[in-house]
Amino acid sequence: MNIFGPLWLSIQLALATTAILLLIGTPIAWWLSQTSSRWKPIAQTIVAMPIVLPPTVLGFYLLILLGPDGAIGSWWVQLTGSALTFSFAGLVIASCIYSMPFAIQPMQNAFEALPRQMLERAWTLGASRLDAFFSVVVPLSVRGFVGGLVLSFAHTLGEFGVVLMVGGNIPGETRVISIAIYDHVETLNYAAAHKMSLLLLAFAFVVLLGMYVFNRRWDSR
């Protein structure tokens, strides 16, 4: 029995999710941090929903949405010829939505902590908005980025309910480590469940510890 297969799949899923969330979460977090639009509370609520919803509820709607008859799923079938549900790609989409608040909120907090004048100074010194974002905002929000990325990575790694609902249990495709552990417990294979659980425990500990050590070093530079 291979315990590293499911772990590796989990890591791949977490890496893909984190990368996508960095790309789409950053502009959303920036918009939320700067806007005074009356739509802001609604957008914030939607972003925060996955924190409070049971994964089964989220998973259920995603199953319908991503299924071959769903809005996104049918379009995917037309595009690629295969279904999104019970596939790795489907898992990535589900994970992105599920882990979104964990990526966005730390970044948004970091952006909001930047004095407005810092930006205005960059603009009056000739930096365009994009230039100012990369030359001033990003270097001063490193903590927020690291926090957002580590949390969404770790959160995706520990995902269970949503994967079960939209991904099922296909080895090498959707059988991530949390599902594998659940399987082993169901079949009373406690030895294998132990090994995997311990592995995940250690991994999560190291990742989070790494983040907190980094934060500490960063602050005391």
Applying CB under 8 A, which residues contact other proteins? 115, 117-118, 120-129, 131-132, 135-136, 139-140
Q: Determine the distance from the C-alpha atom of residue 80 to the mean position of all C-alpha atoms in its chain, rounded to a whole number.
A: 24
Q: Determine the distance from the C-alpha atom of residue 168 to the mean position of all C-alpha atoms in its chain, rounded to a whole number.
A: 19
Shortest approach of other proteins to residue 130 CB, angstroms? 10
Name the maximum alpha-carbon separation found in the chain: 66
Shortest approach of other proteins to residue 179 CB, angstroms? 43
Q: Which is nearer to other proteins, 69 or 131 (CB)?
A: 131
Q: Which is nearer to other proteins, 78 or 221 (CB)?
A: 221
Q: Which is nearer to other proteins, 77 or 138 (CB)?
A: 138
Minimal CA–CA distance to 21: which of 100, 92, 138?
100
Per the CB < 8 A criterion, the answer to whether 119 and 137 are in contact is yes
Shortest approach of other proteins to residue 144 CB, angstroms? 14
Q: Which is nearer to other proteins, 6 or 147 (CB)?
A: 147
Shortest approach of other proteins to residue 214 CB, angstroms? 16
- One-character DSSP codes across 40-74: HHHHHHHHHHHHHS-HHHHHHHHHHHHSTTSHHHH
Type of residue numbered 98: Y
